[in-house]
Chains A and B, each alone.
Chain A
């Protein structure tokens, strides 16, 4: 069923895949679960037996460390600390956990030993008391320390996380001339702290979630409570809870599982690496999903015009930003349509070409063996190969490869009369304009080829059909209930102000319609009008 909501279209990706059915919401997909302990508890009160049990779970894992500690005052008190080497902050563990355990003067007999430890002894900012095996295992694998005490079936989970994360740096793919240069890194808590620093309001809600059976990746939903559309939030939460997957290493996994129209390449979930962008979107009533282990943050819902927006638009003057935006939209359109129009005009409709263009094209094509369409497709594929091979090479070599490859191949091909010169020009223009909008690169390439094939079969009629189909697809797609073209088809100026142009801030009085009920953004500005 292709329906407007994604309810019928969420796939479960793992060893076996099964389509989502409305009833099977709770993970009963019949695959084997090695690491789901349900509500199993630790086996006994005896310390050694518990230690043995946990060590069996982690058999083969040599980084599991066991540290037995006794108290100096009371020799009978035996504790054990279990942790994974490399995940903990050693100093914190030594000073605040081991030392107090050794030095605290325990009374002779204490009723609730674990409670005492939690309240008085252990100097940790986050302590949880549990007997569930599930939680114990999760604590060890995530860098917490498990504190077992003799004679107690419950254990304490202490926060001692201390691994190194990548330093905060400017994201490679979202460079700006002006504006903040912070980028997210792979640590969930650091990312959340960056967001929190910009939105210092209790309105900012951060809901923690977990994804992936084997990765148990932590994620966080962020939104501003008074601004967000509750329907969208409910929709998102419903889709997220239906995801049942082995592991999520990047937000792209999640994005593909929750999107509307999964087979169409139209993005309905946006992603970004910069905290200021995320906060701007949160201020407009959107929801952000931050995933541990990746700097890419998802934002939902995602309008089509956002593919052409760059965060720099808001840090530069509105005039310059408007020009840039118009250029980008124009570049997108040219990148899609130029090969098709050229092929259609030259092969089916030479009458529309002015005489001198016709003559020079005809001259250029003398002696060329391939038909125009084949030339075009060949050179487009070659260009894509060049681009792809240069994109993952380190630094300078990649750029050199692309430039040298393009020049040499293009020039040589024209001189060898394999392709004609206008084709090279068109491929170069198409390539450059295609690189202007990196967010919809894949969509652009797909559309370019589709419209080219249509135009090569049916001339300008085919080109027209392709355009109509594209418009139909775009206007039909919803992102979590909100039409993705809602900014571009509107009667009031307020909605138009941020689409093709970027209106000055004193005009942006309202938030985008549809994203939120709470529309007023500012009461007045200080600018002299």
Chain B
């Protein structure tokens, strides 16, 4: 009997312990606003930052799955203060763990990204898998409003007030399209951890995708170009074509099409790139620095856009040669642009010197932005066409 009483007392004690936790972290899932995108601008009312949050408005969404977004804006002297001010705006708490996109305006980027990135890295609320972009428009926040100004019946007029309705959720569209295009050689996904790796590492400058309004109804915001940084400060941008060349040098071009031709004015052969690998070998001798960039591409012959039967006339070898020269020209073009206009080593050449010849790097490190302009880049492309789709050969007898 005594043992039974002991057991009963213990059971009651342990049972009440579980109740005393007071439901420590209990929160119903519908009582959150899920933040899907953030935008950082310069503050207008004397504060340093003006932040725009795009949240999912699930209460307004219908059964058909059409998701609507809401915007919240707040100001603050630090990012954390702006976030805190935003949390007082809506009727529900803001939930950052599913945030996908953060856009910086050019002014913020020009002042240096490091102060802004600190909150993203340190605070547990947002994850470091958020993708970073730079806005190609005047401010970053107006990108989230791009959907509401497009044509289409039933859209509400945009107003400068909090909690306004949007047509679709821009940040989710951007995040989804980055999945598609990042393997297509148009742009590179840069998560916050990628940004951290670049900034904390040596010998490489940051390059973030650039977002611009496209003026189209169903895809109001698109990635168009790359923002070039020196260190963590924004110095300029390059257009779409040069971005693709840059990615060719960074070997992120799988599943994209490269157009080659006999001469630069006659580009009518399409090669579909299956695999690409780039290796950079640095050579430092005294003050002369040169990089040997070996680009290996495995392609298949996808299209000859003319009446002439190039494949049979010229043969695979010649077409490979044309492709080699195209690759060389393209990479040389973007390297030259970087060297002359920006002086910013977005390719990571300095990093290769640091990896292969650390002693040399020690001497070069301080003056690398200047030294980078003098680096001679030697591109050695090697394009292999592994197969060709044989349609009915034209004019073959």
Contacts and interface: CB of A to CB of B under 8 A. Distances in A.
Question: Which secondary structure dominates chain A's binding surface?
Answer: helix
Contacts of B100: 355
Interface in A356-370: 358-359, 361-363, 365-368
B18 A350 contact: no
Given A350-B32, A372-B28, A359 B21 contact: no
Given A355-B98, A366-B59, A361 B18 contact: no
A359 B18 contact: no
Contact of B95 (A1, A350, A458): A350
Contacts of A351: 97
Interface in B27-66: 27-30, 32, 34, 56, 58-59, 61
B8 interface: no
Nearest to B172: A355
Given A454-B18, A458-B18, A350 B30 contact: no
Contacts of A189: none
Nearest to A454: B18
A347 B98 contact: no
A348 interface: yes
Given A350-B32, A351-B97, 11 more contacts: A355-B98, A355-B100, A359-B98, A362-B29, A365-B28, A368-B30, A371-B28, A372-B28, A457-B18, A458-B21, A462-B18
A489 to B, nearest CB: 27
A350 B58 contact: no
B58 to A, nearest CB: 5
Contacts of A2: 3
B56 A359 contact: yes
A372 B26 CA distance: 10
A413 interface: no
A359 B58 contact: yes
B58 A457 contact: no
B23 interface: yes
Contacts of A348: 24-27
A457 B25 CA distance: 10
A92 to B, nearest CB: 56
B19 interface: yes
Contact of B34 (A349, A359, A367, A458): A359
14 contacts: A2-B3, A346-B29, A348-B26, A358-B29, A358-B34, A359-B56, A362-B29, A363-B61, A365-B28, A454-B18, A457-B18, A457-B19, A457-B21, A458-B24
Contacts of B56: 359
A459 interface: yes
B18 A347 contact: no
A442 B174 CA distance: 51
A349 B59 CA distance: 21
B59 A347 contact: no
A457 B95 CA distance: 22
Looking at B23, B30, B97, the one whose CB has the most chain A CB atoms below 10 A away is B30
A366 B21 contact: no
Contacts of A366: 30, 58-59
Looking at A358, A362, A458, the one whose CB has the most chain B CB atoms below 10 A away is A362
A358 B25 CA distance: 17
A347 B32 CA distance: 11
A137 B30 CA distance: 74
A367 B296 CA distance: 57
A222 to B, nearest CB: 37
Nearest to B62: A363
Given A1-B3, A358-B98, A362-B58, A457 B23 contact: yes
Contacts of B23: 457
Contacts of A358: 29, 34, 98
A2 to B, nearest CB: 8
A347 B27 CA distance: 5
A362 B28 CA distance: 9
Interface in A416-474: 454, 457-459, 462
Interface residues of A, number: 25
Nearest to B20: A457
Question: Which secondary structure dominates chain B's binding surface?
Answer: loop
A346 to B, nearest CB: 5
A349 B27 CA distance: 9
Contacts of A367: 59
A113 to B, nearest CB: 61
User: What 3 A-B pairs come out closest when comparing CB atoms?
Assistant: A365-B30, A355-B98, A351-B97
Contacts of B30: 362, 365-366, 368
B34 to A, nearest CB: 7
A378 to B, nearest CB: 16
Contacts of B95: 350
Interface string A317-349: 000000000000000000000000000001111
Given A350-B95, A365-B30, A459 B58 contact: no
Nearest to A355: B98
A350 B32 CA distance: 10
A355 B18 CA distance: 30
Interface in B315-372: none
B367 to A, nearest CB: 45
B29 to A, nearest CB: 5
A348 B56 CA distance: 20
Nearest to A353: B29
Given A366-B58, A366-B59, A350 B27 contact: yes
Looking at B3, B56, B67, the one whose CB has the most chain A CB atoms below 10 A away is B56
A58 B167 CA distance: 92
Nearest to A360: B65
A462 B24 CA distance: 12
Contacts of A459: 24-26
A355 B100 CA distance: 10
A167 to B, nearest CB: 49
A22 B61 CA distance: 71
A1 B26 CA distance: 39
Contacts of A457: 18-19, 21, 23
Contacts of B19: 457
Interface string B52-86: 00001011010000010000000000000000000
B26 A365 contact: no
Interface string A371-394: 110000000000000000000000
B3 A350 contact: no
Contacts of A349: 25
A364 to B, nearest CB: 8
A227 to B, nearest CB: 38
A367 B97 CA distance: 23
Nearest to B14: A465
A369 to B, nearest CB: 11
A58 B384 CA distance: 107
A285 to B, nearest CB: 35
Contacts of A350: 27, 29, 32, 95, 97
A355 B26 CA distance: 19
Contacts of B27: 347-348, 350
A406 B51 CA distance: 49
A382 B61 CA distance: 30
Contacts of A458: 18, 21, 24
A100 B190 CA distance: 107
Nearest to A352: B97
A402 to B, nearest CB: 28
Contact of A347 (B3, B26, B58): B26
B21 A347 contact: no
A362 B18 contact: no
Contacts of B29: 346-347, 350, 358, 361-362, 365, 372
Contacts of B34: 355, 358-359, 362
A351 B29 CA distance: 10
A83 to B, nearest CB: 51
Looking at A348, A359, A371, the one whose CB has the most chain B CB atoms below 10 A away is A359
Contacts of A462: 18
A349 to B, nearest CB: 8
A358 B35 CA distance: 12
Contacts of B61: 363
Contacts of A346: 29
